[in-house]
Amino acid sequence: MIVSREDVWNDPDNATRLLKERTRISGLIETFESITEDIEDADVLLELAQEESDKESEQEVGELLFGLESRIKKFSVAITLDGEDDSRNALVSINAGAGGTDSQDWAEMLFRMYTRWVDKKGYKCQVIDYQPGDEAGIKGATLSVSGEYCYGFMKVETGVHRLVRISPFNAAGKRQTSFASVFVYPDIKEEIKVDIDESDLRIDVYRASGAGGQHVNKTSSAVRITHLPTGVVVQCQQEPSQHRNKEIAMKVLNSRLYQLEKEKQNQKMQNLHDGKDEIAWGSQIRSYILHPYRMVKDHRIDFEVGDVDRVLDGDLDPFIEGVLLS
pLDDT in tens, 264-320: 766 543 444 444 445 655 679 999 999 999 999 999 999 999 999 999 999 999 999
Determine the pLDDT at residue 276: 42
Contact 101, 178 (CB under 8 A): no
Cα separation, 184 vs 118, whole angstroms: 14
Residues of the chain with pLDDT under 50: 212-217, 268-277
Determine the pLDDT at residue 220: 81
Q: At what angle do helices 55-78 and 12-51 cross, to 10 degrees?
A: 160
* Three-class DSSP category at 234: strand
Beta bridge partners of 141: 94, 130
- In the chain, what are the domains? 2-78 (no CATH), 89-187+278-325 (3.30.70.1660), 198-265 (3.30.160.20)
Verify cis geometry, omega within 30 degrees of 0, for the bond prior to 318: no
Cα separation, 16 vs 27, whole angstroms: 16
Determine the pLDDT at residue 319: 97
Determine the pLDDT at residue 271: 42
Determine the pLDDT at residue 57: 77
Q: Output the pTM of the full model.
A: 0.78
Determine the pLDDT at residue 136: 93
Q: Where are the alpha helices (DSSP H) in the chain?
A: 12-51, 55-78, 100-121, 150-154, 242-265, 308-312, 317-325
Determine the pLDDT at residue 320: 96
